[in-house]
Amino acid sequence: MTSDPTTAVVSSRYAVIEGVLRLTAASLPGIEHVHPVKDLGQIVEEIEQRRPALAVVDLDPAGSGSIALIRKLSTVDPDVVVVLLTDRVDGSITLEAMRSGVRGLLLKPDAVRDLAPSLRRVVSGERVIDPAFEESAVTSLGRVARQARESSQIEATLSPREMEVLQLMGDGLTMRQIGRRLDISARTVETHATKLYRKLDVRTRVQAVSKAASIGLIELT
Amino acid sequence: MSRSATSGAAPARRRLGVVLVDPLPVVRAGLGLLIDGSEDLEVLSEPGDADEALDSLGRIRRSRVVVLVGLALGGSQDAAWLIRTIRERFPSHAILALGADADPATISHALFVGADGFVDKNVAPADFLDAIRQSGDRQTVLVGPPMDTVGEIANGIDRRKQIELRLTEREREVLSVAAEGLTARQIAGRLGVRERTVTTHLGRIYGKLGVGTRLGAIRVAARSGLVTVGTPE
């Protein structure tokens, strides 16, 4: 599906910033309609519906859901040019933005003042990342590499069944629930768990889950 | 060359030691001069291959040195092998991969196997030296490639990991030889196995990578930095 080249979607929880985003987007060549989205939780649905050429999103300063949001935005539609504003220099957010093909990552408060030239560069095809993010992104990259290496070394020793048990532990299921889910006895689950602890070099279930999550072996929801 | 002699009041801080591994003597000589020319860095050795490098590292009595590993290092003990081995045997040392206009997949590979960073030979001398210092300070270093490629490098690390997990060592070997454009019979000759064994391996590789042809497999492998198609580095 192609996007609508005359439409932009903007979102910020601050009325003032939203106003700036709206005005600036409207001043871009070709943009005729700008839709403000009050609720950041609605942004993905809004983009899916309107298929705008441009989406400018001011990330929530609390930032807890930022990474999940960036991931979701990246799967919506590659034709939608996504620009993010944030006031936090956070390596994992920056790296996620760069991995997902976000076209602009701008740092507040400067980003608000320089928004017009930044957006013009983005819509003309450039990728605009504030240099202030560079160091934290590279540090995060180092962490990604280390995690990938460690987790692949451990994962190589785990059987598919052990991986399943580990993921279900991460989801918070009890041994009995895991057994039911996998159609095996709780006793068998315990056996898998014991082997898992040894391979992960931990002693408890909580340690196993936290270690597995920290090296990216499983994802906690 | 005596570097330890300190005349004067305050004893000079020991320079950060650098081990410079590269197959090309000219590169070693040039970078060696540059590094020795700075006040806080010194070249401890300039090995030309992996064996020499490990030998030299085994004799160095320092808790932390920066090992520059030229990605042009080829053969069965190539740069990736050396980086992995140093990471295992000398975990406290910093490893900085050294390349020239390396593509993101190559950098992903180097970081995945254990490099703490990458520096391009084409950057300005001052930036090159700074990269070594930062690496000595235990920072992740990426000097040369545009900032824009960071995301791609990170994605490449994940793809790389997927392939490492899915293919056996033998399968990876078969695939990297296949990428040179050899026929199944030639691959068999190279690896000293029967042609039938090679076709079996290839069939499994296709299945694991979800592709139907050898070209498809090579493409997946190239994107992950598993094999290098075309010119090295």
Q: What is the 3-state secondary structure (H, E, C) of chain B?
A: CCCCCCCCCCCCCCCEEEEEECCCHHHHHHHHHHHHCCCCEEEEECCCCHHHHHHHHHHCCCCCCEEEEECCCCCCCCHHHHHHHHHHHCCCCEEEEEECCCCHHHHHHHHHHCCCEEEECCCCHHHHHHHHHHHHCCCCEEECCCHHHHHHHHHHHHHHHHHHHHCCHHHHHHHHHHCCCCCHHHHHHHHCCCHHHHHHHHHHHHHHHCCCCHHHHHHHHHHCCCCCCCCCC
What residues of chain A lie within 8 A of the CB of B117, using their CB?
142
Last residue in a domain, options B147, B182, B204: B147
Give yes or no: residues B125 and B190 share one domain: no
Q: Which residue has the tokens 């064996």?
A: B51
What residues of chain A lie within 8 A of the CB of B226, using their CB?
none
Give yes or no: residues B28 and B112 share one domain: yes
For residue A129, give both structure tokens: 């990342």
CB contact under 8 A, B154 and A97: no
- Point out the residue among A95, A131, A155 whose CB comes nearest to the CB of B154: A95
Q: What is the pLDDT of residue B134?
A: 95
CB contact under 8 A, B140 and A142: yes
- Point out the residue among B114, B142, B160 whose CB comes nearest to the CB of A138: B142
User: Nearest residue of B to residue A95 by CA position?
Assistant: B151
- Point out the residue among B116, B154, B164 whose CB comes nearest to the CB of A152: B164
**Identity of the amino acid at A35:** H
- Point out the residue among A95, A139, A149 whose CB comes nearest to the CB of B112: A149
Tell me the C-alpha to C-alpha distance, in Å, between residue B44 and each of A213, B15, B56, B64.
Answer: 40, 10, 9, 12
Give yes or no: residues B98 and B17 share one domain: yes
**Cβ pairs bridging A and B (under 8 Å):** 64
| Residues paired with residue B142 on neighbouring β-strands, in sequence order | B118
Q: Could you tell me the residue range of the domain that residue B212 belongs to? A: 167-224
B233 occurs within a structural domain? no
User: Angle formed by the axes of helices A134-155 and A91-99, to 10°?
Assistant: 80
Give yes or no: residues B134 and B208 share one domain: no
CB contact under 8 A, A98 and B142: no
Q: What is the pLDDT of residue B44?
A: 96
**Chain centroid offset of residue A144 CA:** 14
B152 occurs within a structural domain? no
Tell me which of B227 and A15 has the higher pLDDT.
A15
Digit-coded pLDDT (tens) for A33-44? 999 998 888 888
Å between A144 CA and nearest CA of chain B: 7
Digit-coded pLDDT (tens) for A55-95? 999 987 765 688 888 888 888 877 889 999 998 888 888 99
Q: Which residue has the tokens 């960071």?
A: B150
Interface with A, mutate which of B86, B155, B157 (most A CBs under 10 A): B157
Provide the pLDDT confidence category of residue B7 given band limits of 50, 70 and 90.
very low
> Is residue B138 within 8 angstroms of chain A, CB to CB?
no
Task: HSE, CB side, 13 Å, CA atoms: give it for residue B28.
Answer: 19
Digit-coded pLDDT (tens) for B34-90? 999 999 999 999 999 999 999 999 999 999 999 999 999 988 888 999 999 999 999
B159 occurs within a structural domain? no
Q: Which residue has the tokens 């070997």?
A: B173
Give yes or no: residues B175 and B213 share one domain: yes
Å between A154 CA and nearest CA of chain B: 10
**Is residue B5 predicted with pLDDT exceeding 60?**
no
Give yes or no: residues B139 and B188 share one domain: no
Q: Is the pTM of this model over 0.80?
A: no
Q: What is the pLDDT of residue B215?
A: 84
Q: What is the pLDDT of residue B8?
A: 47
CA distance B221 to B233: 15
**Is residue B220 predicted with pLDDT exceeding 90?**
no
CB contact under 8 A, A152 and B139: no
| CATH code for position B220 | 1.10.10.10
What residues of chain B lie within 8 A of the CB of A95, using their CB?
150-151, 154
CB contact under 8 A, A142 and B111: yes
- Point out the residue among B114, B147, B155 whose CB comes nearest to the CB of A149: B114
Last residue in a domain, options B101, B117, B147: B147
CA distance A81 to A125: 9
What residues of chain A lie within 8 A of the CB of B168, using their CB?
none
Residues B119-126 have a mean pLDDT of 94
B174 occurs within a structural domain? yes
Number of domain units in chain B:
2
Give yes or no: residues B211 and B176 share one domain: yes
Residues A133-153 have a mean pLDDT of 90
> Is residue B157 within 8 angstroms of chain A, CB to CB?
yes
> Is residue B154 within 8 angstroms of chain A, CB to CB?
yes
CA distance B220 to B213: 11
Question: In chain A, what's the furthest Cα-to-Cα distance?
Answer: 66
B21 occurs within a structural domain? yes
Å between B113 CA and nearest CA of chain A: 7
CB A107 within 8 A of CB A136: no
Tell me which of B4 and B53 has the higher pLDDT.
B53
Q: What is the pLDDT of residue B2?
A: 45
- Point out the residue among B111, B150, B158 whose CB comes nearest to the CB of A137: B150
- Using H for helix, E for strand and C for coil, what is the string for A107-126? ECCHHHHCHHHHHHHHHCCC
Give yes or no: residues B93 and B183 share one domain: no
> Is residue B42 within 8 angstroms of chain A, CB to CB?
no
**Is residue B233 predicted with pLDDT exceeding 60?**
no
- Point out the residue among A98, A149, A156 whose CB comes nearest to the CB of B150: A98
CA distance B132 to B113: 19
What residues of chain A lie within 8 A of the CB of B113, using their CB?
149
Give yes or no: residues B190 and B134 share one domain: no
- Using H for helix, E for strand and C for coil, what is the string for chain A? CCCEEEEEEEECCCHHHHHHHHHHHHCCCCCCEEEECCCHHHHHHHHHHHCEEEEEEECCCCCCCHHHHHHHHHHHCCCCEEEEEECCCCHHHHHHHHHCCCCEEEECCHHHHCHHHHHHHHHCCCCEECHHHHHHHHHHHHHHHHHHHHHHHHHCCCCHHHHHHHHHHHCCCCHHHHHHHHCCCHHHHHHHHHHHHHHHCCCCHHHHHHHHHHCCCCCCC
Last residue in a domain, options B84, B115, B147: B147
Give yes or no: residues B120 and B186 share one domain: no
B230 occurs within a structural domain? no
B208 occurs within a structural domain? yes
Å between A194 CA and nearest CA of chain B: 23
Digit-coded pLDDT (tens) for B159-199? 888 777 777 778 888 888 888 888 889 999 988 999 999 99
Give yes or no: residues B175 and B110 share one domain: no
> Is residue B109 within 8 angstroms of chain A, CB to CB?
no
B160 occurs within a structural domain? no
**Is residue B223 predicted with pLDDT exceeding 90?**
no
- Say which range, A60-74, A145-159, B44-58, B142-156, has the weakest mean pLDDT: A60-74
Give yes or no: residues B74 and B187 share one domain: no
**Residue length of chain B:** 233
What residues of chain B lie within 8 A of the CB of A100, using their CB?
151
